Structure 1
């Protein structure tokens, strides 16, 4: 008997009809002879609605109370899904994150998992029950309810699969698997049969929303067999694993984009040792992640350099820089938004020269200036103006031979059995 962890996102359980369909899918998995642990997100837009309501009461609500509020969305989902499974004549039990044994850091809003004490989950499985676990949440050592950050239900599912030594972790979503790019922009996007952990991690970090980056990290570290598939049909989906077979003639596996980008430039700072350590040490202390860093030429002992942060961190980052001006004098700080980071990813790029040049050529033909560039062995990222995003993604997708003749259907039932 195989043990599966099945994770269903908010779109898959968005209303009672979809909830019933998910319950039927889980029962079918059990009928195939498998034990089932199910991780569920909040229904549809519940989390966003809760955030909006909170901000009507307090523009800057306390992080602790936001965690108390937002974890209720998943608790509604697990209870309702358990009820739906009972209606089908099966035994199910729902657990919050803390009941399932998720111990986290005491960091509200973006806690990391410290340990999983899954005794209650394993005991319920021994009793032949279907176990339903709330994603996205846990509890700290001092008894505080915490959340794992947006998309954290993926992390819950993969971490739980590792803890209970599941045979596979299936992530159910509203598309048939992992695609070569966002099928909402390119409806002839290629569904990948398989993809490596490293490629998937790059795509997730670079903006692809199909999997949460921390979930992929957990899967890679614990060698969890990860399968991304549709909750609306029975397509095989995409397998994420250590090494994936590269399709003939395809060097780039995927194209990702991130709209949550702002560029900050520090102008006229002294070109002396320790400058970058001071700047980025202060930003790290404020828990602001920095992505691409570029330093321009030095003139008369003064240098300029730029870096990118999440758009949501832009003002905080500027405040940090203002706070260190006395110890690190500079002429001025400038900011720029309305940007997007577009990236190509592929393990085959290592052994194929000219891949980056092709990207630059595509952007040049579209008349687009590149503001910043970042590279690694398996990715190239360019920061550009956001106005031509869709045109850029489509052109790159065609240039790297990723177009297919099939049309992707997103967001609803298809091929229902």
Structure 2
């Protein structure tokens, strides 16, 4: 008898009919001889409505009370789903994050999972229940306060629960059939990838793929949780994410990701000592701003320049944080910003053993008349910025250059 964790996102439970559809899937999984734990998001649109209510009440709602409010979205979903299962004649038991034993730390609205004590969940399974847990939430280990887990929190809840109960498989149900070689809305020839390794999925998540958040993949890799991304609206097989195997290196590139709404910040005229990088990055870290590509150079006259990219939504906060430390960087230090950028990335573990990937990327873009900007690489990823207006064309060009539409992924 296998133990399977299934996560359903907001679109999968976005209406009463869809909740009933999920109930039938869970019952079918149990009838096939499995024990089942479901992790559920709020119904689509509910979280935004709750945030709207909070801002109608006050311009600056408390993060702690916002957590209490937002957690009710998932609690609504799990209660309705259990009612649907019960109405179909099967046993189900709902759990809030706290009841499921999810202990958290960190700040409100950005909680982090510390550990999960799953005895209550396992006991409910032993009693023959389909267990239905609220995603996106836990309870602080040091004060018993509700924490929400931020963007992608329900995926993380599911992966963490799968690790805690030692599940045989974690299935992430969403509104797409799996992970594709590129966004099919951008590249119509994109193909579903049957199997990815954790490293590839992590790089794709970090470079713009919206299927899963990077921290969920990191958690799965750390604890060896095999998971499948699949569509809740059909029975098609999805994409399995697991440990790397040698066959995965047969292709140099496995996917192309794009990320829009990028901005570049440049600090120029730096005459401070060598510690200037630490000053800049510490200021951004204190403001809880994640940066991506970094380029630094020092001219012959000893004046340094450092550029980095980030999400456009963080640009204002980054400027405010850096203005405070400009005096520490020298009298000539100043900020320059550029918006209207996007990031293109190619990913594949086969890059380790296949040469010429970078040359193919940049030659194909040059042949298409697309100018590139900042560049960043890892062992299995190459990323570059392009003008936002060119990003879809760039994705199609690079996807075709590696023949991702013609070969089995």
User: In structure 2, what is the equivalent of residue 4 of structure 1?
Assistant: 4
Structure 2 portions without partners, runs of 5+: none
The alignment's C-alpha RMSD in Å is: 1.7
Distance 2:75 2:372 in 1: 45
Given the two structures, how large is their TM-score scaled by the length of structure 2?
Answer: 0.95
> Does 1:107 pair with 2:100?
no
Counterparts of 1:15-414 in structure 2, within 5 Å, are 15-141=15-141, 142-244=143-245, 246=247, 250-270=251-271, 272-329=273-330, 330-403=332-405
Distance 1:247 1:100 in 2: 37
The structure-2 alpha-carbon separation of the partners of 1:246 and 1:186, relative to structure 1 and needing over 3 Å to count, comes to farther
After superposing on structure 2, the runs of 4+ consecutive aligned residues of structure 1 that deviate more than 6 Å are: none
Distance 1:169 1:160 in 2: 9
User: In structure 2, what is the equivalent of residue 412 of structure 1?
Assistant: none
Cα shift at 1:268: 0.6
Distance 1:59 1:44 in 2: 24
Deviations 1:71-105 (A, max 9, x none): 11111110111111111100001111111011101
Distance 1:211 1:337 in 2: 25
Contact 2:136 2:150 in 1 (8 A): yes
Count of residue correspondences: 406
Cα shift at 1:244: 4.3
Given the two structures, how large is their TM-score scaled by the length of structure 1?
Answer: 0.93
Cα shift at 1:31: 0.6
The structure-2 alpha-carbon separation of the partners of 1:62 and 1:260, relative to structure 1 and needing over 3 Å to count, comes to farther
Cα shift at 1:405: 10
Deviations 1:102-148 (A, max 9, x none): 11014111111011111110110010000000101001020211111
Contact 2:162 2:170 in 1 (8 A): yes
Distance 2:125 2:285 in 1: 43
Structure 1 portions without partners, runs of 5+: 407-417
Partner SS, residue 291 of structure 1: coil
Contact 1:188 1:405 in 2 (8 A): no
Mean Cα displacement is larger for which, 42-51 or 18-27? 42-51
Distance 2:86 2:406 in 1: 42
Distance 2:164 2:88 in 1: 29
User: In structure 2, what is the equivalent of residue 411 of structure 1?
Assistant: none
Distance 1:246 1:61 in 2: 51
The structure-2 alpha-carbon separation of the partners of 1:204 and 1:91, relative to structure 1 and needing over 3 Å to count, comes to same
The structure-2 alpha-carbon separation of the partners of 1:148 and 1:335, relative to structure 1 and needing over 3 Å to count, comes to same
